[in-house]
Amino acid sequence: MKKILIVGAGGQIGSELTSHLRKIYGDSNVVATDMRDCRELGEAGPFEVLNALDATAMASIVARYHIDTIFNLVALLSAVGERNPQMAWSVNMGALNNSLEVARQHHCALFTPSSIGAFGPSSPKDGTPQDTIMQPTTIYGICKYTGEMLGNYYHHKYGVDTRSVRFPGIISNVTLPGGGTTDYAVEIYYEAVRSGRFTCPIPSDVYMDMIYMPDALRACVELMETDPAKLVHRNSFNLASMSFTPEIICAEIKKRMPGFKMDYDVDPVKKAIAESWPNSLDDTCAREEWGWKPEWDLSRMTDDMLEHIRLKFGVA
């Protein structure tokens, strides 16, 4: 990667990936775009306002900056998508189609994240394999699964260097999430510091895979820098780091904040989505094909999350 375009740079992943890539490849070599005018993304390097559904505008930016790698991070997430499935399909698939076509026409590599949401209730729940039955029951999951197939098609049909990971829920102390089922695992830390209590929308015994943002960012770079000859799979690699229930993360916070309290007000939509997803993923293929290995576990992440959020809120 030498000249990088990030589409959807104003989101949870994109805002942090932009600065991460600029530290590695240089500020001027990472072009951030979003349909909103995110001025902060233009302070260190180039920023362009871009509607990802405008293929002509995307192609123009790719040509003008001599882009060789595109990160398409545009997505309406799971819970938001269920409220407006038609819009979710239009946005998620429109941005992907345009990214694939621009990558084909301009000979770019393309990274588009998939998700644990690409699996469904008929997939094996524990140690979900890389290659298994996938019948998602949310529009978000359907978009992600379709995106995986399209990525593979463009690679086999046109030779486009498409790559992808199936992200678990992403936990960050920098950028708040935007309407996903796993959002509770970020919100619980903020509320622990802010008020000492949290009302959880996910049932107490539901396991979901999660990953800390520093590991997620590193995975993006490591996969895209891997020699393509080593890749048996492309779209998309299972990615695992930690798996827990609300009760487990609550207990971890209580070790550090004994007075912390959590109750439940279960959201039926999020409950149904969460219960349709795997409890844990088998990421053997990512480990073997490009050396994936997580660096953060729940305990270390909890220390880091609480430290950074206390600093953010000015709490001793």
The residue type of 81 is G
How confident is the model over 271-304, as pLDDT tens digits? 999 999 999 999 999 999 999 999 999 999 999 9
CA–CA distance, 45 with 47 (Å, rounded to integer): 7
Give me the pLDDT at residue 182, please.
87
Is residue 223 helix, strand or coil? helix
Containing 70, the helix (H) or strand (E) segment is strand 69-72
- β-pairing, 242-244 with 114-115? unpaired
Tens digit of pLDDT at every position of the chain (316 positions): 789 999 999 988 999 999 999 999 999 999 999 999 887 888 899 999 999 999 999 999 999 999 999 999 998 877 788 899 999 999 999 999 999 999 999 999 999 999 999 999 999 999 999 999 999 999 999 999 999 999 999 999 999 999 999 999 999 998 776 778 889 999 999 999 999 999 999 999 999 999 999 999 999 999 999 999 999 999 999 999 999 999 999 999 999 999 999 999 999 999 999 999 999 999 999 999 999 999 999 999 999 999 999 999 988 6
Looking at the chain, how many residues does it have?
316
140, 145, 207, 212: the active-site residue: 140
pLDDT of residue 12: 85
**β-bridge partners, 169:** 210
Domains by residue range for the chain, with CATH: 4-169+211-238 (3.40.50.720), 173-209+242-279+296-313 (3.90.25)
pTM, two decimals, is 0.94
pLDDT of residue 77: 78
User: Whose structure tokens read 């349909």?
Assistant: 35
Could you tell me which residues are beta bridge partners of residue 281? 128
Q: Are 198 and 254 in contact, with CB atoms under 8 Å apart?
A: no
Which H/E stretch holds residue 156? helix 139-158
Which token pair is 124?
């094996």
Question: How far is residue 3 from each of residues 27, 79, 136, measured CA to CA in Å?
Answer: 10, 34, 35
Please say if 158 is a catalytic residue.
no
pLDDT for res 80: 84
Spatial separation of the C-alpha atoms in residues 91 and 73, rounded to whole Å:
11
| CA angle at 274 for the pair 196 and 71, rounded to the nearest 5° | 95
- Model pLDDT, residue 175: 78
The tokens describing 110, both together, are 């393309």
